[in-house]
Amino acid sequence: QVQLVESGGGLVQAGGSLRLSCAASGSIFSINAMGWYRQAPGKQRELVATITTGGTTTQLDSVKGRFTISRDNAKNTVYLQMNSLKPEDTAVYYCNADVQPSGSWTVREYWGQGTQVTVSS
């Protein structure tokens, strides 16, 4: 009964900012790595940014210096601060997390439902 719920997407003009949030809920023993992916029309889903439990991060080259991934372990939430947005950032953004449910010995990968980000010029 683990769920990931995303929020914060919307329509913004080029140069603007958005902050995406993804909260994990349910019977959770632990959460390992968390991340954000995106999928633009006609393209495959690509990794945008990840963050480990220890805070180590990685980002797609095209978003470095503009996007920042962070997490609040007390709230089981991962964020993606998106600044200086460009039209090519337009995509559906998906939250991802590796979660060990309570009572389970296995870590499973969970996905959010996706949130639309549209950047106009």
What is the pLDDT at residue 1? 85
**Mean residue pLDDT across the chain:** 97
pLDDT tens digits, one per residue of 7-46:
999 999 999 999 999 999 999 999 999 999 999 999 999 9
Angle formed at CA 95 by CA 116 and CA 101, multiple of 5 degrees: 145
